């Protein structure tokens, strides 16, 4: 394939991807409000449009038209840069996520992944994709730390200190929980990790690879990384007003939220790719009679079903669990998740060595 074609495809894919992602983020917020409302025996937003479906649009317009307050005491360059850093980093990592195999359209093989191309015989993607995602998400702590410091408000500073300590503590467990999957897959390329799980759901790393301990470590660490309940100490509104974004208003405030929800999507995608077979159907080994059109839709369908499920679990847990206390949070990460993830690595490698 020629370079110009490749770049043209990449630009189209990026535009589509960002459009879908930002729309999805808006509707995940709506879904969250609806689901939480029903869990609390309320109706949730239902005034704007049918079933409140235009609510995200109304929210967006309101965020843009509200007064953009920049307090006098802030350090302006970093104050403005911080929400941009948070949002930009959360938008980058999605480009490495593969959403399916490839589509064969009008003589072209198009991989459903931004950073991948068709070599003529197979798809080539970034062979250290997982490492890049870990790197980009760990940069996310800058957005939080800088926003709290530059706001020059006591609540913001306390919130950002808490958030920074929490983010870096749980990053350890997050990184180590993925080592078990890497042992099984033997590659850092997300596409190859998914390919190593081809077959029925017994080949998924969660079931077949016996990585359920790793998965629960991953999902707990990821909840902490995205500042979600039960780990939402950085924005604990009963203690810290709103944590590190206390001083932010209008679109800058919304940008922190968009970053958080984009990160939720990335976390859900990674959980799907690493532990739950990516776009592979759970019944793949059975060779059920299906119409040919289904073979084209099926990868995307299964991928989005799984991602949707993990996002729903996020919301479900928010409706269920109370918040940790801060010392409990830190000792849970350091004294429980970290040793457990190391134990998981030792056990997985031992089993692999004995079984090979």
Partner 1 sequence: MPNQPLPYYVNYLPVLLQIVVACLVAGGMVALSALLGKHRYSRTKMQAYECGMVGTGDARQRFSVKFYMVAMLFILFDVEAIFLIPWAVIYRKLPAAIAPALGAGPRDFSARMFGFWEMLVYIGIVLVGFFYIWKKGALDWNATTEKTDF
Binders of partner 1 among 138-167, rule CB under 8 A?
A: 149, 151-158, 161, 164-165
245 binds partner 1 (CB under 8 A): no
Q: Which of 8, 11, 53, 57 binds partner 1 (CB under 8 A)?
A: 11
Q: Which is nearer to partner 1, 28 or 255 (CB)?
A: 255
How far apart, in whole angstroms, are the C-alpha atoms of residue 82 and residue 78? 6
Q: Which is nearer to partner 1, 47 or 355 (CB)?
A: 355
Site for partner 1, residues 246 to 275, rule: CB under 8 A:
246-247, 250-252, 254-255
For residue 270, the minimal CB distance to partner 1 (Å) is 15
Which H, E and C letters describe the chain, residue by residue?
CCHHHHHHHHHHHHHHHHHHHHHHHHHHHHHHHHHHHHHCCCCCCCCCCHHHCCHHHHHHHHHHHCCCCCCCCCCHHHHHHHHHHHHHHHHHHHHHCCCCCEEEECCEEEECCCCEEECCCCEEECCCHHHHHHHHHHHCHHHHHHHHHHHCCHHHHHHHHHHHHHHHHHHHHHHHHHHHHHHHHCCCCHHHHHHCCCCCHHHCCCCCCCCHHHHHHHHHHHHHHCCCCCCCHHHCHHHHCCHHHCCCCHHHHHHHHHHHHHHHHHHHHHHHHHHCCCCCCCCHHHCCCCCHHHHHHHHHHHHHHHHHHHHHHHHHHHHHCCCCCHHHHHHHHHHHHHHHHHHHHHHHHHHHHHHC
For residue 225, the minimal CB distance to partner 1 (Å) is 13
Longest Cα pair distance anywhere in the chain, in angstroms? 67
Binding-site residue total for partner 1 (CB under 8 A)? 98
Q: Which of 24, 115, 194, 270 binds partner 1 (CB under 8 A)?
A: 115
Q: Which is nearer to partner 1, 60 or 285 (CB)?
A: 60
Site for partner 1, residues 296 to 335, rule: CB under 8 A:
326-327, 330-331, 334-335
Q: Which is nearer to partner 1, 63 or 231 (CB)?
A: 63
2 binds partner 1 (CB under 8 A): yes
For residue 77, the minimal CB distance to partner 1 (Å) is 12
Site for partner 1, residues 90 to 109, rule: CB under 8 A:
91-92, 94-96, 107-108
For residue 200, the minimal CB distance to partner 1 (Å) is 22
Site for partner 1, residues 44 to 63, rule: CB under 8 A:
63
Q: What angle do CA 132, 133, 139 make, to 5 degrees?
A: 90
29 binds partner 1 (CB under 8 A): no
Stretch touching partner 1 by CB under 8 A, among 71-79, 201-209, 285-293, 299-307: 71-79
Site for partner 1, residues 199 to 238, rule: CB under 8 A:
none
Q: Which of 43, 53, 57, 73 binds partner 1 (CB under 8 A)?
A: 73
Q: Which of 37, 39, 110, 132 binds partner 1 (CB under 8 A)?
A: 132
71 binds partner 1 (CB under 8 A): yes
* C-alpha dihedral sign at 43, 309, 219, 256: negative
Q: Which is nearer to partner 1, 44 or 243 (CB)?
A: 243
350 binds partner 1 (CB under 8 A): yes
């Amino acid at each position: 394939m020629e370079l110009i074609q490749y770049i043209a495809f990449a630009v189209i894919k990026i535009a589509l991807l960002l459009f879908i992602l930002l729309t999805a983020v808006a509707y995940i917020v709506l879904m969250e409000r609806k689901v939480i409302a029903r869990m609390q025996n309320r109706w949730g937003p239902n005034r704007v449009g049918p079933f409140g479906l235009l609510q995200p649009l109304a929210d967006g317009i309101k965020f843009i038209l509200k007064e953009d307050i920049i307090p006098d005491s802030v350090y302006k360059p970093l104050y403005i840069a911080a929400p941009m850093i948070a949002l930009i980093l959360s938008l980058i990592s999605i480009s490495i996520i593969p959403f399916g195999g490839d589509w064969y359209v009008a003589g072209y093989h198009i991989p459903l992944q931004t950073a991948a191309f068709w070599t003529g015989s197979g798809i080539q993607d970034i062979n250290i994709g997982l490492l890049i995602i870990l790197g980009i998400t760990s940069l996310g702590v800058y957005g939080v730390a800088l926003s709290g410091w530059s706001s020059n408000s006591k609540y913001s500073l306390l919130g950002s200190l808490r958030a920074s300590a929490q983010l870096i503590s749980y990053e350890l467990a997050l990184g180590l929980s993925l080592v078990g999957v890497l042992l099984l897959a033997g590659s850092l390329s997300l596409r190859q990790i998914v390919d190593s799980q081809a077959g029925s759901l017994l080949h998924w790393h969660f079931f077949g690879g016996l990585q359920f301990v790793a998965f629960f470590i991953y999902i707990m660490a990821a909840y902490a990384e995205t500042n979600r309940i039960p780990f939402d100490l950085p924005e604990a509104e009963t203690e810290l007003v709103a944590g590190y974004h206390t001083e932010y208003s209008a679109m800058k405030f919304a940008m922190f939220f968009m970053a958080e929800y984009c990160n939720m999507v990335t976390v859900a995608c990674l959980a799907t790719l690493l532990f739950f077979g990516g776009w592979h159907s759970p019944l793949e080994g059975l060779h059920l009679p299906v119409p040919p059109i289904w073979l084209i839709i099926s990868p995307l369908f299964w991928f989005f079903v799984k991602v949707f499920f993990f996002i729903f679990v996020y919301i479900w847990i928010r409706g269920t669990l109370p918040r940790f206390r801060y010392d409990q949070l830190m000792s849970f990460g350091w004294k429980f998740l970290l040793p457990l993830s190391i134990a998981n690595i030792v056990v997985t490698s031992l089993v692999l060595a004995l079984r090979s």
